[in-house]
Amino acid sequence: METKDFDTYSERKAFDETKEGVKGLVDAHITEIPRIFRVPQGTLSDKKPSVSASDPTIPIIDFADVHVSRERIVEKIKDAAGNWGFFQVINYGVPLNVLEEIQGGVRRFFEQDLEVKKSYFTRDAAKRFVYNSNFDLYSSSLCVGWRDSFACYMAPDPPNPEELPVVCRDAMIEHTKHMTSLGVLLFELLSEALGLSSDKLKRMDCMKGFLMICHYYPPCPQPDLTIGTNNHSDNSFLTILLQDQVGGLQIHHQDHWVDVTPIPGALVINIGDFLQLITNDKFISAEHRVLSNRNETRISVASFFSTSMLPNATVYGPIKELLSEENPPKYREITLEEYTKGYFKKGLDGTSYLSNFKL
Ligand code: OGA
Ligand code: NI
């Protein structure tokens, strides 16, 4: 902690030690949020995006005919990944009940018997299944986010089912299966969008690690004073996000915050920092955040393709085939582990971690 934050350390710690997360505060019917959750003044003055018919919206890509019009879809992905870093996909072939099951599983986990839930609470990232509130509770210099989360690595070394809470076990395993198949297709299309062979990104082990993080955003009595998730870009190659219909996710695009409007059955796909790095900025990892709301609990399920904190000696830099005299490498080489350690230490503070590796 920096000295300036020291006065809130004990408050953060007291909150942490309840092991009840933000949901515990809401269940206690608090009417004013503790100060550790307060965003710096002015941060949310741009909360409501300007809405006019001409405003750009995040691309929606229909995968229904991916087998017949692959080239057209690759073109769309190239545009979305290069200009937005975000897109939504529909008709991607995952049964709706798989998505409903995981959303139900996440709700069951957070709303289950408190003592059982607390037994999963930990700050030890080496634990298989990690439930807590704000991974960066002690490191972020911004406010604490109005959300609780659980995380689990589902690959490369899948958990034994018994290591997962019974209320969401089957749903997590099933969801992982489907997100992995969709990931295979997405990495193929992204490789093609770069003009590389279809299996290039997969051969680079972009899919080796799969980290699932499930978020629970309780309703907030003062939603204008806090935020669900602070501004950040993702520490991954690619992220597949399942959000419910509540809304609140925004991306920073050309100096504006743009809503990622929920679409029933759609998934949100975003480029992470590592894909920006290895594509030498051909694809961009866009900053995003989640706003709080007064009335509804929001649930989201993020699937990160990254080995993240796991030991992994592979070194990543800009892909040689994409470089030329006119397009020299913009980043130095890194390991995912080194990157992730620094990213976690910094916390979600609205600054880019990737920029530290610029040449
Ligand atoms: C994330 C994230 C968005 C959401 O987990 O990195 O941006 O809607 N989540 O929860
Ligand atoms: Ni994110």
**Of 107, 131, 120, residue with least CA distance to 297:** 107
**How does pLDDT run across 72-109, given as a tens digit for each residue?**
999 999 999 999 999 999 999 999 999 999 999 999 99
Q: Which amino acid is at 86?
A: F
Query: For atom 4 of ligand 1, which residue has the closest CA?
Result: 300
3-state secondary structure of 239: strand
Ligand 2 mean position, distance from CA 348 (Å): 10
CA 305, 307, 313, 317 torsion-angle sign: positive
Q: Are strands 60-62 and 86-90 parallel, antiparallel or unpaired?
A: parallel
Each residue's pLDDT, cut to its tens digit, for the chain (359 residues) gives 444 555 789 999 999 999 999 999 999 999 999 999 999 887 787 777 655 656 778 999 999 988 889 999 999 999 999 999 999 999 999 999 999 999 999 999 999 999 999 999 999 989 999 999 999 999 888 899 999 999 999 999 999 999 999 999 999 999 999 999 999 999 999 999 999 999 999 999 999 999 999 999 999 999 999 999 999 999 999 999 999 999 999 999 998 999 999 999 999 999 999 999 999 999 999 999 999 999 999 999 999 999 999 999 999 999 999 999 999 999 999 999 999 999 988 888 878 899 999 99
Residue nearest to atom 1 of ligand 1 (CA): 302
> Residue 288 Cα, ligand 2 centroid: separation in angstroms?
6
214 neighbors 150 (Cβ within 8 angstroms):
yes
Q: How far is the CA of 27 from the centre of ligand 2 (A)?
A: 27
The pTM score is 0.96
Residue 147 CA, closest ligand 1 atom number: 10
Q: Report whether residue 288 contacts ligand 1, using a CB cutoff of 6 Å.
A: yes
Q: Are strands 249-253 and 288-290 parallel, antiparallel or unpaired?
A: antiparallel
Can you name the residues that pair with 331 across neighbouring β-strands? 358
- For ligand 1, atom 6, name the residue with the nearest CA: 234
| Cα–Cα dist 161/156, whole Å | 15
Mapping DSSP to helix (H, G, I), strand (E, B) and coil, where does residue 332 land? coil
Residue for token pair 């809503």: 259
* CB-ligand 1 contact for 287 (6 Å cutoff): no
Tokens 């505060």 found at: 25
User: Position 196: which residue type?
Assistant: L
Q: Which residues of 250-263 are buried (b: 16+ CB within 10 A; e: fewer)?
A: bbbbeeebbbbebe
Strands in 199-330 per DSSP E? 210-217, 229-232, 238-243, 249-253, 256-259, 267-271, 288-290, 298-305, 315-316
Helix, coil or strand: residue 21: helix
Shortest-distance Cα residue to atom 2 of ligand 1: 302
What gap in Å lies between CA 346 and CA 355, rounded to an integer?
13
Q: Please write the tens of the pLDDT for every residue from 306-351.
A: 999 999 999 999 999 999 999 999 999 999 999 999 998 888 887 8
Testing ligand 1's pocket by substitution, the residue of 233, 249, 271, 273 carrying the most ligand atoms inside 8 A of its CB is: 249
Quick one: which atom of ligand 1 is closest to the CA of 243? 8
Domains along the sequence of the chain with CATH? 2-39+60-357 (2.60.120.330)
How many residues are there in the chain? 359
Does ligand 1 lie within 6 Å of residue 220's CB atom? no
Task: Provide the pairing of β-strand 210-217 with 298-305.
Answer: antiparallel
Q: What is the rounded CA–CA span in Å between residue 209 and residue 274?
A: 13
Residues in contact with 28: Cβ distance below 8 Å, sequence separation at least 6, in sequence order: none
Is the CB of 303 inside a 6 Å radius of any atom of ligand 1?
Answer: no
